[in-house]
Structure 1
Amino acid sequence: MRAATVVEAPDEIHNNRRRSVPDFLQSVNLKYVKLGYHYLMSHLFTLLLIPLIALSVIVATHMSPDEIHQIWLQLQYVNLVTVIGGLALVVFVSTVYIISRPRAIFLVDYACYRAPPHLKASFQRFMKHSRLTGDFDESSLEFQRKILERSGIGEETYVPEAMQYLPPRPSMANAREEAEQVMFGALDALFRNTLIKAKDIGVLVVNCSLFNPTPSLSAMIVNKYKLRGNIKSFNLGGMGCSAGVIAIDLARDMLQVHRSSYAVVVSTENITQNWYFGNNKSMLIPNCLFRVGGAAVLLSNKPSDRRRSKYKLVHVVRTHCGSDDKAFRCVYQEQDEVGKVGVSLSKDLMAIAGGALKSNITTMGPLVLPISEQLLFFATLLARKFFNAKIKPYIPDFKLAFDHFCIHAGGRAVIDELEKNLDLSPLHVEASRMTLHRYGNTSSSSIWYELAYIEAKGRMKRRNRVWQIAFGSGFKCNSAVWEALCHVNPSPKGPWEDCIDRYPVKIVT
């Protein structure tokens, strides 16, 4: 795991080297048959119009000049009242539509926090420090070592300042200090890159699951940047790693109400007071995966901001499985048998996440998939219901709807599961794997590090669509869909600026 060599992501030819030639040719043929079917269904309406246009041309060419003149005279004497009434109806309907339609929400820019180098935690340093604390027995230390080696994270992730001491110092003051460093660091970069003024921000949404002091984190930001007194501020707590999408959804709703305004969303997590110092193995996993990180996002509903914005928000789909007891308890903060607090992860976590994803994409599919995929899915559904329940359900090809995927970097197993279930290529999950390797699980902000990776690689082109998928306690699966408004370049001082040339790396397991 520790050895990381620079290699490019394998392409389709490399993936098929082990196949026989006939199998490979058959897969290629099926690929192009499906592609042809997709284009046929996508342009079906246009193709049906061609015969109608051709028929109209033929009829018009066979009409005499007198017949054409007669039709023109009839059109001239149409009742004037009917014309005026029709125009009035068109104006009325158009006005109602323009007033009632949702406002477009633009992502002007965003910034991800990068901690200072002295906070890096290599595997050797992590294990040495864990041993010297004296809180873990040999079995727990060996368990943590195995998790580190199999998790997909690298040697350069960051642990907060309070965890660098011996013994560690998980105090309220140090937790506040971590929160300030992350949030203010991301916001300073955002304000510097966008030149936005504090008095122009009308909405502030902050999400942090495990650290909720009084005054709140949102109040800390208002105080630091002297935001205006009538700002609509919100602080979301206890909502897990998918809370970043929830915060975007809340900000979008607020921008539908308040005209000509900016919204800032800050997504982070706090580790200082939430490190587990016990020997319950289900609670030790977060110690090995969660690392320091955060992101600040600037949204606008001003049409004038379209030109300078990076993305337009297209859809937000939220799925909550909390009514099911297993789903509710699969990520659960509690005390262990000796009273030490930690977050336990259930062995059913991946199965529950898969069910939540299925529910989420069932809602997402009709919004984003081309008609060709929707027809195939519907036909398979009918066949399973009325003919043979054993028919394998059709999994829609979401690669036809999205150009890029930002899967929450919760761990290698999460990324593997979505890569398999959605039939994605290694290139599609590269941003998620490399974010996990470089920054670890930064909770709700991980999807923004992934988007920054795609931009740093120069892959985000105009009209490209990107799907952000995140999972969180409760249990929730939330999605956001963005459309690029231009060829997006990385923002100055981005999280990948000093290391993008070294990525992707091959993860040795």
Structure 2
Amino acid sequence: MYLLLVPLIAMLLAHLSTVSLENFTELWNHVRLNHFLTVILCSVSLAFAVTLYFMSRPRSVYLVDFACYKPEPSQKVTRERFMELTKASGCFTEESLALQQKILEKSGFGQMTYVPKKLLRVPRDQSMSASMEETDQVMFGAVDELLTKTGVKPRDIGILVVNSSLFNPTPSLSARIVNRYKLRGNILSYNLGGMGCSAGVISIDLAKSLLQVHPNSYALVVSTENLTRSWYRGNERSMLVTNCLFRVGAAAVLLSNKFSDRRGSKYRLVHTVRTHKGADDKCFNCVLQQEDDKQNVGVSLSKDLMAVAGESLKTNITTLGPLVLPVSEQLLFFVSLIAKKVFKMKIKPHIPDFKLAFEHFCIHPGGRGVLDELEKNLELTPWHMEPSRMTLYRFGNTSSSSLWYELAYSEAKGRIRKGDRIWQIGFGSGFKCNSAVWHAIKTIDPAKEKNPWMDEIDEFPVQVPKVAPIVY
């Protein structure tokens, strides 16, 4: 559309440049004297069209602020301590213990990730009450901090979206938040379950859609996951990975469609793109919650996971690319595609340079292998990957909330400038790949920020070895 409009606009401007002021005056006098009714009708039609245009435009959605929960220091666990607790549980064979140690040594984790309180003792307490205690701790901690930062009153919130993939009690987690903060009776409350690590972006997309039809509203999005209840106690190899990679965390995000909030907000939501590959059996089964032969429930990860994630990302960026990439990159991709498909030329398809479209990348830290593959395929620099790698190192994989710890890292480093564009990429079971694109409304001053990185940000980045041996 843009390519067609440019020559038309150029021709119109060239023609208008030959018209003098006298020509406009003569034309106006002719219309005023002979076609008064026509002028009135045209004016009314123009006013109606302009009004209709502005009323039908999508409402802008602003991110007022967000908060990431930082657990208590007593919940920190070193890799050695983690293996000691795992061995002391008495659930695992020597082979399973060796596999978990190997995974952890290559995970990219540091020595300060957090686990639930009830998993720090032997025997482990995986009861419903212990699970509820963990979820209340992280959800309410994140929401409390967010309300303090924004000054928004709970009863002003009109939309609530909560996502937790594996832990979905009754009443729902969203109902627990409504009860805790005494949210109003007509609140639009949603509880998303079973949607994996990309559910955070899905929640943002749902809130955005609701804000399009409910004017002057605030939407609260809470993303979390529960480890206490979902800890795997068996010896199935494909289910042991999740025990090693997931850690405690939660995030709360406040969105608004009020124009008055524009100046005080941090970001404007530009695009959300969702890709679902669940129609393909291989994609559907690559992340699967199931029982092993001894009825222990766990999440099985298929060896096809990396290939499936790559295909999902490819589909997602094929949709996102035309929305964000400059025309030059789109033309290069189109030309290479025509040469390869039509003229059967043996050339590599052009890989768009997304660094021209975004200043910052928040890639879900599903594991070190995932980050390595995306760094390679998207041709990103270590600087671009730093928020993702440092989040994995410091907090581990906190599931759907991880993307917000990454954005908090960039803010704490003072990297977010007015006008910057941020790309959040999430992967999840199903299989799904989802993207959110944000535009920074203002420069973020780290001196005024409160987030989980602020008291230790000067210690990062750190060098993360490819293999960190564990001796316990």
Q: TM-score range by the shorter chain?
A: over 0.9
Match of 2:470 in 1: none
Match of 1:14 in 2: none
Please list, as runs of the form range in 1=range in 2, the aligned pairs for 1:315-464 lying within 5 A after superposition. 315-388=271-344, 390-464=346-420
90-99 or 447-456, which moves further after superposition?
Answer: 90-99
Please list, as runs of the form range in 1=range in 2, the aligned pairs for 1:209-224 lying within 5 A after superposition. 209-224=165-180
Shift of 1:55: 6.8
Q: Distance in 1 between matches of 2:128 and 2:193?
A: 17
CA contact (8 A) 1:310 1:488 kept: yes
Shift of 1:58: 8.9
1:501 aligns to 2:458 (yes or no): yes
Q: Deviations over 1:270-293 (max 9, x none)?
A: 000111112112111111110000
Amino acid at match of 2:303: K
Q: Distance in 2 between matches of 1:364 and 1:202?
A: 30
Q: Distance in 1 between matches of 2:355 and 2:202?
A: 24
Shift of 1:314: 0.5
CA contact (8 A) 2:412 2:449 kept: no
Secondary structure of the corresponding residue to residue 235 of structure 2: coil
Match of 1:135 in 2: 91
Shift of 1:83: 2.7
Q: Distance in 2 between matches of 1:169 and 1:71?
A: 83
Please list, as runs of the form range in 1=range in 2, the aligned pairs for 1:84-123 lying within 5 A after superposition. 84-123=40-79
Shift of 1:139: 1.4
Match of 1:73 in 2: 26
Shift of 1:94: 0.7
Amino acid at match of 1:289: L
Please list, as runs of the form range in 1=range in 2, the aligned pairs for 1:96-245 lying within 5 A after superposition. 96-245=52-201
Q: Distance in 1 between matches of 2:245 and 2:335?
A: 42
Secondary structure of the corresponding residue to residue 151 of structure 1: coil
Q: Deviations over 1:55-114 (max 9, x none)?
A: 779968xxxxxx864664344222333332322221111111111111110000000000
Secondary structure of the corresponding residue to residue 210 of structure 1: coil
Q: Distance in 2 between matches of 1:215 and 1:70?
A: 73
308-317 or 77-86, which moves further after superposition?
Answer: 77-86
Q: Distance in 2 between matches of 1:159 and 1:70?
A: 77
Amino acid at match of 2:455: D
Q: Deviations over 1:220-277 (max 9, x none)?
A: 1111111111111010000000000111111111111111111100000000011111
Please list, as runs of the form range in 1=range in 2, the aligned pairs for 1:467-506 lying within 5 A after superposition. 467-490=423-446, 492-506=449-463
Amino acid at match of 2:47: V
Q: Distance in 2 between matches of 1:94 and 1:293?
A: 47
- Tell me: CA distance 1:132–1:389, structure 2 relative to 1, closer, same or farther (3 Å): same
CA contact (8 A) 1:112 1:449 kept: yes
Shift of 1:128: 1.0
253-262 or 267-276, which moves further after superposition?
Answer: 253-262
Secondary structure of the corresponding residue to residue 419 of structure 1: helix
Q: Distance in 2 between matches of 1:180 and 1:214?
A: 14
CA contact (8 A) 2:205 2:272 kept: yes
Amino acid at match of 2:169: P
347-356 or 381-390, which moves further after superposition?
Answer: 381-390
CA contact (8 A) 1:203 1:232 kept: yes
- Tell me: CA distance 1:243–1:74, structure 2 relative to 1, closer, same or farther (3 Å): closer
Shift of 1:390: 3.1
CA contact (8 A) 1:452 1:494 kept: yes
How many residues matched? 461
Identity %, equivalent residues:
61
Secondary structure of the corresponding residue to residue 361 of structure 2: strand
1:291 aligns to 2:277 (yes or no): no
Q: Distance in 2 between matches of 1:283 and 1:89?
A: 64
Structure 2: runs of 5 or more not aligned: 467-472
